[in-house]
Amino acid sequence: MPWSLTYHPELPVIEVAYDGPTSAQDLQESTSHLIRIEHEQGITRFVVDTRRMALEARLLDVHEIPSRQYVEEDADPDGRVAVILSASALER
């Protein structure tokens, strides 16, 4: 599992950090886990840290997370996700 979760109660926000090779299945599993937390605990703010991620998924797989998986798993439409990118990703 190339991802870990940290809860920051003072914000309240959940941070998911990816580290190393990350497949489409890894992204789907972590997203499902976060949506379950959203349903169970009412937390709707997330920070996704991709600085140490080595993405092995296709960009289409990434695009389908909000367009398909959020809908299928009934993610809160008012939820917010912030993504931290590496400096090299910003240069592309």
Residue 51 above 90 pLDDT? yes
What pLDDT was estimated at residue 86? 79
Residues 16-48: tens digit of each pLDDT: 999 999 999 999 999 999 999 999 999 999 999
What pLDDT was estimated at residue 3? 95
Residue 87 above 90 pLDDT? no
Helical H segments across the chain, by residue range? 24-41, 59-64, 70-72, 87-91
What is the side-by-side strand order in the sheet with 13-22? 3-8, 13-22, 45-55, 80-84
List beta partners, residue 28.
none
pTM of the model: 0.89
